[in-house]
Amino acid sequence: MTELLTSAQMGGIERDEIESGAVTGLQLMERAGRGAVEAAFAKWPKLAQGAHRAMVLCGPGNNGDGFVIARRLADRGWDVDVFLFGDTAKLPPDAKTNHDLWAAMGQVAPFEPKAVKSCARPDLFVDAVFGTGLTRPLPADLASVLEVRTMGTWKRGHAIHRLAIDCPSGLNLDTGMIPTSGDGTMPGVNSTHLTVSFHSLKAGHKLGLGPTLCGDLQVVDIGLTGRDATERAMIGTAPDAERARLIAPDFAGTALPLRIWPGAMIVKMRGQGHKYEYGHVMVLAGGSGRGGAARMAARTALRSGAGLVTVLCPPDAVLENACHLDAVMLRACADADAFRDIADDRVSAFCLGPGMGVGPQTRAMVEAALSHDRGPRADRPAAVVLDADALTSYQEDPAALFNLCHARTVLTPHEGEFARLFPDLAQSERGDLSKIDVVRQAADRAGCIVLLKGEDTVIAAPGGGASVHSATGDRAVPWLATAGAGDVLAGLIAGLAAPETAPDLFCVVEAAVWLHCEAARQFGPGLIAEDLPDMLPEVFLTLER
Ligand SMILES: NC(=O)C1=CN([C@@H]2O[C@H](COP(=O)(O)OP(=O)(O)OC[C@H]3O[C@@H](n4cnc5c(N)ncnc54)[C@H](OP(=O)(O)O)[C@@H]3O)[C@@H](O)[C@H]2O)[C@@H](O)CC1
Ligand SMILES: [K+]
């Protein structure tokens, strides 16, 4: 798991380290610039051989790494054109020092679109204008030059290697969004081939547009302390309040063996017990003709390691369900009173919502599940996963749901369901808040874990611990946007949470999201939701490594 920092947290880490006397700002800037050049050479080995031409765009803030890069490249015999967007006299001291070091070797031209375009075609285009300090939309003239279309100015412009320092300028590194001006217009979109960032990933690298715009993303260690300790503390426990992390089997950017994470989250891969110790999951289904979603959730719960899984359905749907279920058990359950009788103290997880239908009947079942205070373990009630119709049934009165939710409840909305429960936090209302910020607020309000789906899935717990799963780049699974995939995720969470020795619920939810994506990746295009549970055994085998 890699920590995802906000711009403010990154600034704080740099400031603390500099104030402690362990390092100077100049040293950090030098390491950053050198690290960026090394990362570019590692990606494009041809650039490491011989001298080439670079264009470096620098900015008004402390992202002074651009001047360091110019100097390093010129030292290797490169021709380097440097432009400064901003006023030399107002540069912060460290950036000014590096500006002056470069100015003793070459020219710094004031930024001007025509001047940029009249230079010879660079082999390497370096965007070091803004890093973590972007506070408003890019000015139009700058945006017009940073746009990828500008490369068409030059013959063979497609061959230009584009490198961004910290991020493609214009991207907000807290939100992964591009700030728009008051009238809603968006500046030109800047994207790059390689982004080099420092110390740790920033939230905006993995949220929203970040993954698409940043291209290949490399994190360079610039010797700030604390990273390893932070990451070690993150393995197997929920993140602390205020911290967010990327869900991946990584430790400080290095891959961990999969049997350590997420393998350790799957109790059945290591436990020794009888079926009840692996837990009993109850999945509530809707009426006749609408049982498919619940059956997929149930099958997934059984595949993911629960000892027993029972589908509860209205009496009129028993025949239909009986025709489709074998290892999954089936009980008729007419209403919430019947449900209370059937749900004994061996039930360790409930899954409600998929295909249940929206209305008072579903609300009554949700209330019964959330007030079920018996469980196989005295120290924790059964986990309750609420998805789809279980959430939408509360759109008129979300507070009624939140009043019932307890710490072992997980809400798994997509953006539409999220907007019904948290209208003020809906996508259109977010402003400067990041998806992490709003899911944190939602978790606080609901008093339970909230998982908001998307290519950037965000999970948050009350108090602030949060994590992000990014299904982008080599983990992109566009074919997972298929009917029923969400029902499978709900069943997966319930199945992994069910065993008596299941780990911390937050960690279970993280593992479920990762496994869900992994099953889709291993299956490939053409996937339908039914394929996901049956893909899990193959995924589990890969976790033995
Ligand atoms: N010693 C260190 O700490 C090290 C720091 N390093 C690097 O420094 C970076 C953080 O520096 P930073 O905070 O100065 O931010 P940065 O992104 O350079 O620019 C902020 C400036 O831009 C301005 N501005 C913002 N938006 C604007 C807009 N749309 N249009 C026009 N102007 C705009 C803004 O103006 P203001 O909002 O104040 O008016 C302010 O002047 C970070 O990326 C890190 O990697 C590394 O070198 C390692 C060592
Ligand atoms: K940049």
The residue-averaged pLDDT of 159-179 equals: 97
The residue-averaged pLDDT of 488-504 equals: 96
For residues 492 and 305, what is the distance between their CA atoms, to the nearest angstrom? 9
At 249-265, the pLDDT tens digits run 987 778 888 998 899 88
For residues 196 and 21, what is the distance between their CA atoms, to the nearest angstrom? 26
Residue 97 CA: which ligand is closest? Answer: 1
Residue (of 139, 137, 190) closest to 168 by Cα position: 190
Name the percent of the chain lying above pLDDT 70: 100
For residues 10 and 250, what is the distance between their CA atoms, to the nearest angstrom? 20
What distance, in Å, lies between the first and last C-alpha atoms of the chain? 18
For residues 330 and 14, what is the distance between their CA atoms, to the nearest angstrom? 58
The residue-averaged pLDDT of 133-153 equals: 93
- Model confidence at 513, pLDDT cuts 50, 70, 90, reads very high
Largest CA distance in the chain: 85
For residues 528 and 540, what is the distance between their CA atoms, to the nearest angstrom? 19
Taking the centre of ligand 2 as the mean of its atom positions, its distance from the CA of residue 192, in whole angstroms, is 10
User: At residue 270, does pLDDT exceed 90?
Assistant: no
Nearest protein Cα to ligand 1, atom 25? 134
Helix 93-103 vs helix 65-75: crossing angle, to nearest 10: 20
> What pLDDT score was predicted for residue 274?
83
User: At residue 514, does pLDDT exceed 80?
Assistant: yes
User: At residue 536, does pLDDT exceed 90?
Assistant: yes
Question: Judging by beta carbons within 10 Å of its beta carbon (0-12, 13-18, 19+), is residue 213 exposed, middle or buried?
Answer: buried
At 297-355, the pLDDT tens digits run 999 999 998 999 999 999 999 999 999 999 999 999 999 999 999 999 999 999 999 99
User: At residue 522, does pLDDT exceed 90?
Assistant: yes
Angle of CA points 468, 472, 474, to nearest 5°: 120
Taking the centre of ligand 1 as the mean of its atom positions, its distance from the CA of residue 543, in whole angstroms, is 42
Question: How many C-beta atoms surround the C-beta of residue 331 within 10 A?
Answer: 15
> What pLDDT score was predicted for residue 45?
98
Taking the centre of ligand 2 as the mean of its atom positions, its distance from the CA of residue 87, in whole angstroms, is 17
Task: Give the H/E segment covering residue 452.
Answer: strand 449-452
Residue 4: beta bridge partners? 201, 244
For residues 39 and 344, what is the distance between their CA atoms, to the nearest angstrom? 58
Question: How many C-beta atoms surround the C-beta of residue 412 within 10 A?
Answer: 29
User: At residue 184, does pLDDT exceed 80?
Assistant: no
Q: What is the dihedral of CA 280, 283, 289, 293, to 10 degrees?
A: -110
Residue (of 296, 299, 417) closest to 358 by Cα position: 417
Q: Which domains does the chain have, with CATH numbers?
A: 2-225 (3.40.50.10260), 274-542 (3.40.1190.20)
Residue 237: beta bridge partners? none
At 448-486, the pLDDT tens digits run 999 999 999 999 999 999 999 999 999 999 999 999 999
User: At residue 386, does pLDDT exceed 90?
Assistant: yes
> What pLDDT score was predicted for residue 41?
98
> What pLDDT score was predicted for residue 182?
77
Q: Which of 135, 174, 198 to mutate to test the pocket of ligand 1 (most atoms within 8 A of CB)?
A: 135
> What pLDDT score was predicted for residue 1?
82
Fill in the amino acid letter for 283.
Answer: V
The set of residues, in sequence order, having a beta carbon less than 8 Å from that of 45 and lying 6+ positions away, is: none
> What pLDDT score was predicted for residue 121?
97
Cis previous bond, 525, omega within 30: no
User: At residue 512, does pLDDT exceed 90?
Assistant: yes
Taking the centre of ligand 2 as the mean of its atom positions, its distance from the CA of residue 341, in whole angstroms, is 61
For residues 368 and 343, what is the distance between their CA atoms, to the nearest angstrom? 9
Q: What is the 3-state secondary structure (H, E, C) of 204-271?
A: HHHCCCHHHHHCEEEEECCCCCCHHHHHHHHCCCCCCCCCEEECCCEECCEECCCCCCCHHHCHHHCC
- The most confident of the ranges 178-187, 242-251, 521-530 is 521-530
At 185-232, the pLDDT tens digits run 777 789 999 999 999 999 999 999 999 999 999 999 999 987 777 777
Does 487 count as an annotated binding residue? yes
Token reading at 126:
């370096």
Taking the centre of ligand 1 as the mean of its atom positions, its distance from the CA of residue 239, in whole angstroms, is 28
User: At residue 383, does pLDDT exceed 80?
Assistant: yes
Backbone angles phi, psi at 397, to 5 degrees: -150, 70
Token reading at 426:
């809906």
- Model confidence at 235, pLDDT cuts 50, 70, 90, reads confident
> What pLDDT score was predicted for residue 211?
98
Does 63 count as an annotated binding residue? yes
CA atoms within 13 A on the CB side of 208: 20
Question: Judging by beta carbons within 10 Å of its beta carbon (0-12, 13-18, 19+), is residue 512 exposed, middle or buried?
Answer: buried
Q: What is the dihedral of CA 149, 151, 156, 159, to 10 degrees?
A: -100
Residue (of 388, 385, 519) closest to 459 by Cα position: 385
Does 169 count as an annotated binding residue? yes
User: At residue 414, does pLDDT exceed 90?
Assistant: yes
Residue (of 373, 345, 381) closest to 505 by Cα position: 381
CA atoms within 13 A on the CB side of 278: 22
Q: Which of 20, 23, 62 to mutate to test the pocket of ligand 1 (most atoms within 8 A of CB)?
A: 62
The set of residues, in sequence order, having a beta carbon less than 8 Å from that of 326 and lying 6+ positions away, is: none
Give the SS3 label for residue 430.
coil
Helix 505-523 vs helix 485-497: crossing angle, to nearest 10: 140
Question: For the whole model, what pTM was predicted?
Answer: 0.96
Does 88 count as an annotated binding residue? no
Which protein residues touch ligand 1 with a CB less than 6 Å away? 14, 25, 28-29, 32, 59-65, 94, 130-139, 166, 198
For residues 155 and 497, what is the distance between their CA atoms, to the nearest angstrom? 58
Taking the centre of ligand 1 as the mean of its atom positions, its distance from the CA of residue 60, in whole angstroms, is 7
Residue 62 CA: which ligand is closest? Answer: 1
Report which DSSP code applies to 466: E
Residue 140 CA: which ligand is closest? Answer: 1
- Model confidence at 161, pLDDT cuts 50, 70, 90, reads very high
Mean of pLDDT over the chain: 95
Helix then strand then coil, in percent of the chain rounded to 5, is 45, 15, 40
> What pLDDT score was predicted for residue 410?
98
Does 457 count as an annotated binding residue? yes
Contacts of 289-294 spanning 24+ positions with Cβ under 8 A:
289/317, 289/320, 290/317, 290/355, 290/357, 291/317, 291/320, 291/321, 291/324, 291/355, 292/355, 292/484, 293/354, 293/355, 293/388, 293/484, 293/487, 294/351, 294/354, 294/355, 294/356, 294/487
